[in-house]
Each structure stands twice: as structure tokens, then as C-alpha cells.
Structure 1
Amino acid sequence: MFHKIVGKRTTADVVDLYGEASKDRLLPFFKTANVQFPPEKVTLLAIKDSNELELWVENAEEQTFIRSYPVLAASGVLGPKLREGDKQVPEGIYQLEYLNPNSAFHLSLKLNYPNDFDLLHAKEEGRAEPGTNIFIHGKAISIGCLAMGDEVAEELFVLTTLVGKSNVNVAIAPSDPRINDISKLASDKPQWVKTLYLNISNYFERFKHDR
């Protein structure tokens, strides 16, 4: 999806506009979880088949669940993104490249898709254009991105400015590997997809619900 620049706001402008309201919405969840705000690190776990985005924090190597958000729109089907224009939400473990305060979709957080794993296997399969411009953003429309609605985009944007984008990780799974064996979804897929799903499963294992 092409994310054009629609204004001249800075990140500081966005924090000034939405910071206090976003903190007010987030703080009760942090208090309930009995963890500091802002945290040291943040992990977002996206689960495609249930349209959920879980917010976890890590302080002193301890993972704590904060809350779950509904994903309002995410195009495509289960399975990794392969090429530009396939409308697939990617699957894998990603970092944030930058925050866009002037997104056409209110606010957005740019994922580093394609990452090194994606690029390696795209090259092996001769896929010259594996796609790009994958965001977590506001509004409720998606062509390969995670659309979260404007208020959630504000919360995630502000939270990221507080912890630093280098301290935010995003993992996207076809289904919740803590509940379902996602290797079954790769039974008819290339070996690299099986490896990808094993990596995702191992990553999710660190984030266990007490509830």
C-alpha cells in the first residue's frame, strides 16, 4: 500500500496532540498489570486468524501482557507475503523502521518488511519484488497492513516514542502458536515456510498468558 505524505506534522507534534489522551487510555492497563510506564521494551504479537494484536512489555527480561486490540482490517489469507501486490499481511518477526506522523491513514508505524529472512528466500525463489511499505496504521482499511483504528494508532505511536523504536518488536503469526500447531499450515509449503513457522512458534513461547 502506498503511504503518501499528507501534511507536515512532526513526531513531537503528534505527541503534543495525542500524548496525554493516549497515556490516559494506556495507564489503567499498565496499573492492572502492575508494571512501570513507560516500559523498557514493547512487543506486539499479531494473530491473523483471530484478528488480534497483543501488547506485551518487557522489563528486566520479564514479559507481561498488557492488553489485546482488535485488528480492524488486514487483507489476504493465512500464509506469508510473497510479492508486491499480493495484498498479504507478512508473517515473521520484525522491527520498526520509522514512525510516520503524516500518514494518509492517520498515523503509521513502518515495519522492516522484507527483513533479511524474507529477502533471502525471495532471492532463492526468484521473486524480485517481494513487496514493501507494510505498516501498522490507523483507519479501518488495509492492503497488506494492519489497520487498527485511529485511537489505537495514536496509543502505539505515542508508546513507541516513549520507549524508542529500537525497543519495539512485532511478530505476526497466521494463528496463535501457543494454542495451535501452526506447522500444520506449512505441510504443503516450501521448507523455508516450515522454518519460518518454527521461528514464530519459538518466539511466541516467551509470551505466556497467566489468564
Structure 2
Amino acid sequence: MRRRELLMGTAALLSLSACATGSKFKRYSGPEVTFVVVNKGARRMHLLHNESLLKSYDIHLGFAPVGHKQFEGDGKTPEGLYRIDRRNPNSDFHLSLGISYPNVNDYAAAKAVGKSAGGDIFIHGQKSPFRNDDPDWTWGCIAVTNPEMEEIYAMVQNDTLIQLNA
């Protein structure tokens, strides 16, 4: 009987400790993020509520960060005004928020040079939080640390405007 009580107590303790581990899904109850601004040159992303700065993050970009994304595989991060248009809680890169690239102009520009515009441009975390990534390692996305991505994922909702500047 004593052994059974000990096993049951250990199982209950393990169950409770599993609940104590942090979830990647955080809650946010502050002001609404109405605008995201990415400054590629400074490698910074800012979350705003109207004109008030809520939070800023250091970012990593595509492996060829200078200039506007022109076609699939060019390693560039887009520039211009887009929207957050989707969420991926099961991303290979921890969590991710989709950016509405390519738009009509992006499709037309890529088609004019006989290429695909590509797509799947995201704000995302790291594939491996233990890897020390080069400063610009993505294929055109915007990357932050996994804890930062958890905050951003909670704060930024679909349909939020995002301005990507040179």
C-alpha cells in the first residue's frame, strides 16, 4: 500500500511540474498593435499602437538583405506596405506570422523577368534556439528569438499593417 501511495504521489508531482513548463502561447492584454514597422538597414522591428511605440526587437533578415524582394530564391526581404495575413502555430521556426507578400505589383515584376515571385514570407522564431545564427540567414523572412516570437505572436493580430523599409 505504501509503495502505491508513493508511486501515485510521484505521478501527481510529475503531472503538476509538466503543467508548470511555459507554453509558447502567451497572453497579451496591452494596447492593440496597430502597425508594425521593419527597418531593414537598422535590423530593427517596432510594434506600434497608433504613433506610440510598444516594443522593439533586433531582427535577422534574408541572406541578401539589400533591396526589395524581386523573385523566389533571391534571399531578399520585401519592402513596402503589406499585412499580417496568417498565423502558423506549428511552424518549423517555432511560431510564425505570415506577411501578405507577394502583392499584385510583386507578381507583375517577377513575371516581367520570367520568374516566380515566391511567397511564404514570415516573421518567425528560430529553428534551433541553441544555434548561433549568422546575422542574415533567412530566405527573405524576418527572424527573432523564440521568446521574442512568443511575445510578438501574442501581440500582433491578423490584418495588422506592416511597413518594411530599406
Q: 2:36 aligns with which of 17, 35, 44?
A: 44
SS at match of 1:153: helix
Q: Look up the equivalent residue of 2:121 and give its one-letter code.
A: I
User: Does the CA-based 8 Å contact 1:138-1:149 persist in structure 2?
Assistant: yes
Q: Look up the equivalent residue of 2:104 and give its one-letter code.
A: D
The residue number in structure 1 matching 2:147 is: 151
Q: 2:123 aligns with which of 119, 133, 136?
A: 136
Tell me how far 1:83 sits from its aligned partner. Answer: 1.0
Q: 2:67 aligns with which of 72, 79, 82?
A: 79
- Report how many aligned residue pairs link the two structures: 135
* Cα gap change, 1:83 to 1:55, in 2 (>3 Å): same
Q: 2:108 aligns with which of 112, 116, 120?
A: 120
The residue number in structure 2 matching 1:93 is: 81
User: Does the CA-based 8 Å contact 2:40-2:61 persist in structure 1?
Assistant: no
SS at match of 2:38: strand
User: Does the CA-based 8 Å contact 1:83-1:127 persist in structure 2?
Assistant: no
Q: Distance in 1 between matches of 2:114 and 2:98?
A: 22
Tell me how far 1:38 sits from its aligned partner. Answer: 3.4
Tell me how far 1:17 sits from its aligned partner. Answer: 4.6
User: Alignment RMSD, CA only?
Assistant: 1.9
Q: Which structure 2 residues correspond to residues 1-211 of structure 1 after superposition, within 5 A?
A: 17-20=24-27, 23=28, 37-39=30-32, 41-58=33-50, 63-123=51-111, 125-139=112-126, 141-160=137-156, 164-166=157-159, 168-174=160-166
Q: TM-score normalised to the size of structure 1?
A: 0.58
- Structure 2: gaps of 5 or more residues: 1-22, 127-132
User: Does the CA-based 8 Å contact 2:24-2:150 persist in structure 1?
Assistant: no
- Structure 1: gaps of 5 or more residues: 1-15, 28-36, 175-211
Greater share of residues in helix: 1
Tell me how far 1:56 sits from its aligned partner. Answer: 0.8
Q: Look up the equivalent residue of 1:130 and give its one-letter code.
A: A
Larger Rg: 2
Q: Look up the equivalent residue of 1:54 and give its one-letter code.
A: H
Q: Distance in 2 between matches of 1:109 and 1:47?
A: 17
Tell me how far 1:150 sits from its aligned partner. Answer: 0.6
Tell me how far 1:133 sits from its aligned partner. Answer: 0.7
Q: TM-score normalised to the size of structure 2?
A: 0.73
Q: Distance in 2 between matches of 1:112 and 1:127?
A: 21
Percent identical residues: 30
Q: Look up the equivalent residue of 2:143 and give its one-letter code.
A: A
Tell me how far 1:73 sits from its aligned partner. Answer: 4.5
Q: Deviations over 1:159-189 (max 9, x none)?
A: 13xxx412x1111111xxxxxxxxxxxxxxx
